[in-house]
Amino acid sequence: SVPTEDLAASFQQAVIDVLFKKTINAAREFGAKEILVAGGVSANKHLRQTFKSQTEFPVHIPPLSLCTDNAAMIASAGYFRYALGYESNLEMDVLATYPLS
């Protein structure tokens, strides 16, 4: 049996390897001059170190306080809409392109 910690670390490294390789390959293919690592995944310290350790592209990574999950952003937008008096019933359909305004 594999210890849970080892399994988690191996999975994390496999994901980092794929994200890193695909990002670098895409940057090369499309002639990018720099890379921005953002979103919730950019809070992962090993991912941050992996991107910072390469020297082919300048890499920009926001401070951890700005590396939040989209769920937090959507919840915040919903809160402020509710505070302004907007309400939706539970029959509202899901649509990924709904505007936040």
Q: Residues 6-50: pLDDT tens digits? A: 999 999 999 999 999 999 999 999 999 999 999 889 999 999 999
pLDDT of residue 22: 98
Domain membership flag for residue 39:
yes
Residue 87 lies in a domain: no
**CA 9 – CA 53 distance, rounded (Å):** 19
Number of folded domains that form the chain: 1
In a domain, 85, yes or no: no
With respect to residue 56, please indicate whether it lies within any of the assigned structural domains.
yes
Residue 6, phi then psi, degrees to nearest 5 = -65, -40
Q: Is residue 46 part of a domain?
A: yes
Does residue 88 belong to any structural domain of this protein? no
**Domain containing residue 42:** 4-68
Residue 68 has pLDDT above 90, yes or no: no
DSSP letter string, 12-35: HHHHHHHHHHHHHHHHHHTT-S-E
Structure tokens at 32: 């990018």
Whether residue 10 lies inside any domain: the answer is: yes
Q: Indicate whether 16 belongs to any domain.
A: yes
Helices (H), the chain: 4-29, 45-53, 70-83
